Chains A and B, each alone.
Chain A
Amino acid sequence: MQLANKAAVIGVGDTDYTRDAGGRSALSLQLEAALKAISDAGIQARDIDGIVMPSPGGPVVAEELVTNLGIPDLRFSTGTPLGGAGPVAALQCAAAAVAAGICSHVLLTLGRTGRTGQRIGARIQQMPQFRIVGEFEAPSGALAPAQYYAPMARRHMAMFGTTSRQLAEIAVTTRQHAILNGNARMTTPLSIEDHQASRMIADPLRLFDCSLESDGAAAVVVSAADRARDLRRPRVLLAGMAEGHPDSPSAITQRADMTRLGLAKAAPRAFAMAGVTPADIDVAEIYDCFTYIVLCQLEDLGFCGKGEGGAFVEGGALGLKGRLPVNTHGGLLSQAHIAGMNHVVELVRQLRGEAGRAQVPDAEVGLVTGYGDLGDGTLAIMTRG
């Protein structure tokens, strides 16, 4: 069975993205996003019969969604434990489930109180996928994602001449998009000079190379493509999907080529499934926990060669009028860190023509990536159906 175009995203929803959700729980935020996605899809909560948790073991479990939404007959429940690669992995998982006829309407939710709840440094030390670096690297002071990923960026700079100003291009363009979005934490313009003047977090990553720990939630509903035809909103078809896992998945330190992510393995598979090439992509929502991770993924996706990402992003190339509009919602860098579920929501809105002031004209083919857990990569190519 080929999975291409067998499933569609029929509903999306999200909460306000804030620094502080006023004491609301992650569950409350996820329920709000879920209700919006269900309503957007034009179905009822009782129609949901599948749940894929992109962040299993996180603050919310599927049973709590069942209990609160009153789901009477859940037929499929699982999770995709790939960190920030989880939401896009969950799309593939949900697509496979509905294509196989296991269930009809799959709900994916992700949301947290990342700013007012437990912070990232404390969170990851409790995650089993970080056990290896926890034992062998944390005692030396490598404790947080910025510190694990910064040597990848430094290696890229040393090998290919990539510069901090090129990373700044990504931060600046992403901020412009956040300002257009209207539901973003960062609302003031950012210049390359602002980026260059920002304090160092983990060299070469400065403050404005880093994403925003945030409070908020986003949700989507995935259904079989043939069942999606008569629903309220235009279908957005899942044309190509893949996940890829890097060499030495538990320790970047031991990875033969630390400038190549799991996405490099996933990308050819997803493009082949969708029957498109990077040149066909109208809009790209690329996981951006750090600016460098965007640059590296552009290479691993095939938009340019390895080492050419710095030149590729220069001159506003990722802007709405650039060669490849990227992170049109403001991304994790300037909208909110909702672990990339907000990227999925934005791609669907772009392909429906509902992206407001940041709409890419006539966007018909787009992609969304996920990245997490020290290098896992996921990719979904979607088309207006």
Chain B
Amino acid sequence: MSQTMPGKPMPDPSPDTQPYWDGLAQGRLMLQRCADCGRIRHYPQPMCAACHSMATDWVEASGEATVHSWTVAHHPFHAAFRADLPYVLVTADLPEGVRLLAQLRDAEAEALRPGLKLRIGFEQNEAGLTLPVLRPATPG
């Protein structure tokens, strides 16, 4: 194999999604909101499925989250993540009515159960991309 190892996947933002990534770069989880009917949606998309408005604004997430489900990645499907294994991917309910997928920090998968309270944090990876992470709301 003469190829160099591929790096971690990087987003290729569109005009519709760029504000989300700009927010993360500043350590803020920004959620898209319909400027007409007020419905919050995630992931970012050009149209509100409820009222079909394409007018959008952005609101910062409260930072609260609860566990909806999770998995623990053990198999290296991507060479760039091999050194991170095993890692826990949590699907979390946000009080804003959408879900967030992020890696778990400062806890083991065994501690997880649906409804467990988490806090959203931020981490920059080796490629300079800031991503959300999730931590237990109450340490220990």
* Chain A interfacial positions (CB closer than 8 Å to B): 121, 125, 132, 134-144, 146-147, 150-152, 154-155, 158-159, 199-205, 251, 253-254, 258
Contacts and interface: CB of A to CB of B under 8 A. Distances in A.
Given A135-B43, A155-B114, A203-B109, A140 B89 contact: yes
A143 B75 contact: no
Contacts of A125: 9
Contacts of A139: 8-11, 125, 129, 131
A203 B72 contact: yes
Nearest to A137: B101
A200 B131 contact: no
B77 A121 contact: yes
A121 to B, nearest CB: 4
Contacts of B132: 140
B52 interface: no
A203 B43 contact: no
Interface string B1-45: 000000011111100010010000000000000000000001100
Contact of A154 (B11, B69, B102, B131): B69
Contact of A147 (B8, B17, B71, B131): B71
Contacts of B87: 141
29 contacts: A121-B77, A125-B9, A136-B11, A136-B43, A138-B9, A139-B9, A139-B10, A139-B125, A139-B131, A140-B89, A140-B102, A140-B132, A141-B73, A141-B78, A141-B81, A141-B87, A142-B101, A143-B9, A143-B81, A144-B75, A151-B70, A151-B89, A152-B69, A154-B70, A200-B74, A201-B74, A251-B43, A258-B68, A258-B69
Bin the interface of chain B by size.
35 or more
B66 interface: no
Contacts of B81: 141, 143
B75 A202 contact: yes
A202 B91 CA distance: 14
Nearest to B127: A139
B89 A158 contact: no
B19 to A, nearest CB: 13
Contacts of B113: 158
B60 interface: no
Contacts of B91: 151, 253, 258
Interface in B49-103: 68-75, 77-78, 81, 84, 86-87, 89, 91, 98-103
B22 to A, nearest CB: 14
Nearest to B132: A140
A152 to B, nearest CB: 7
Contacts of B74: 199-203
B124 to A, nearest CB: 12
Contacts of B9: 125, 134, 138-139, 143
Nearest to B87: A141
Nearest to B49: A248
A132 B42 CA distance: 11
A54 B59 CA distance: 42
A159 B114 contact: yes
Contacts of A202: 71-75
Nearest to A142: B89
